[in-house]
Chains A and B, each alone.
Chain A
């Protein structure tokens, strides 16, 4: 596909991600309202979250002014090259910033200077996977700074948490991370949990879980059980929407595992705020399809 067309598709993907909430997240927030006491501050807050996402969609303006870091997960066929995709995505990212779909969010860590267009070292983030079939499958995640600041990594065993090298140890880490975060990550959050791996791949697999549909079931029955148990337990913490109390502290727990070194057992929790901005796109020949409106 030619550069201009490809850039336009990526621009549209970014616009959708920043200005509209995915249907699984909307559904989860609605269920949250049903669980809260009618007329409570928690119910009213959840209602405002949904009302805002509707307004943002209609006005084509960002759901949150912190439009986050951009994570592109891309499967590409033999009719595409990585360099061509990077070029199109960078052009689309700069244009999305000029159109106010994105806030300038890339700051040089040494000079403190904001690049102004969301481009810079490691910005955006790219994850490429090659495949045999022609075309593209793209998943975009926008993740803000408030939720990034409350992500946490643990090393098992952990004496303070009485957490051993097993799934109960993993469970204890997640409970601790959510308790420590309180409302600071903009709850109700979605917990991506990385079990095993090394320091970086553990966070990597945790973040990748954030792309999963909130209604899916983990193919691994052990992890599926952990996810379900944590969903129930974390919502007993009474932290609630924005940390102001209530029954809705998390709207998703998704775990993935990686093999680990015998000496290492890392548990990583990637906290995603309720404004879980993701958008998915498929390109086949000249045809483009987005997973939802």
Chain B
């Protein structure tokens, strides 16, 4: 398990290889569909400073608002990342983001951007929503809540020992492509 403290440098991220297990501590931001569109179409002033050297978490959480008005994450596993494929490479470039965290993997544009800018794609485990919510030790802020709604807003969160696996590194390796090709061989035998 490799510990990563946020913010993190591109040099540090380039040391990671597909298959490495990481544990993340620091401030990151959730963003999914509406958020990615916003980041590409505007200058992202609400979150620009927060994203620099940090990570984006593809997540639509269940969020509880306490009697004191404070938010806490109740359940917060990853959502499917491939929907952000048209945006992610631009987001990495424009905002100096070091990683996207999600599930299911991303495509060729994001993989190329990982190499170009010194970023990675991290897979979190789908369905371990209580565990991952417990890694979110504090909800620091929320941006665009009214406009985007709870699942789609930018939640600024402090995480401690957030577990993930590097599945696309900055050296052109994608574990998702490798597994697909590996399974294809056995598949062809079974239906041959």
Contact = CB atoms under 8 A, between A and B. Distances in A.
B42 interface: no
Most B-side CB within 10 Å, residue of A45, A55, A56, A65: A65
A44 B165 CA distance: 11
A243 B179 contact: yes
B70 interface: no
A103 B61 CA distance: 9
B133 interface: yes
Contact of B80 (A67, A146, A245): A146
B142 interface: no
Contacts of B190: 172, 175, 233, 236-237
B167 to A, nearest CB: 7
Contacts of B61: 65
A62 B182 contact: no
Nearest to A161: B191
B176 A243 contact: yes
Interface string A207-244: 00000000000000000000000000100111111111
B171 to A, nearest CB: 18
Chain A contact patch, size range? 35 or more
Given A179-B184, A244-B165, A245-B182, A64 B104 contact: no
Chain B contact patch, size range? 35 or more
Interface in B43-91: 59-62, 64, 74-77, 79-80
A273 B179 CA distance: 19
Interface in A59-75: 59, 61-67
A162 B187 CA distance: 13
Contacts of A288: none
A184 interface: yes
Nearest to A175: B190
Interface string B116-133: 000000010111111101
Interface string A23-59: 0000000000000000001001100110110011001
Given A41-B19, A49-B125, A65-B60, A182 B130 contact: no
Interface in A161-181: 161-163, 172, 175-176, 179
B179 to A, nearest CB: 5
Contact of B76 (A65, A67, A172, A175): A65
B9 interface: no
Given A41-B19, A146-B80, A184-B104, A240 B131 contact: no
A126 interface: no
Given A62-B75, A100-B64, A175 B175 contact: no
B134 interface: yes
B183 A55 contact: no
Given A103-B75, A175-B187, A182-B179, A61 B125 contact: no
B176 to A, nearest CB: 7
Interface of A: 41, 44-45, 48-49, 51-52, 55-56, 59, 61-67, 100, 103, 114, 144, 146, 161-163, 172, 175-176, 179, 182-184, 186, 233, 236-245, 273-275
7 A-B pairs closest in CB distance: A52-B128, A65-B75, A56-B130, A275-B127, A52-B131, A186-B126, A64-B127
Given A49-B125, A179-B187, A243-B176, 9 more contacts: A49-B128, A55-B130, A62-B130, A64-B126, A65-B76, A100-B74, A103-B62, A183-B104, A244-B175
16 contacts: A61-B62, A61-B130, A62-B74, A64-B128, A65-B59, A65-B61, A65-B62, A65-B76, A103-B75, A175-B187, A176-B191, A179-B183, A183-B179, A238-B182, A244-B165, A245-B182
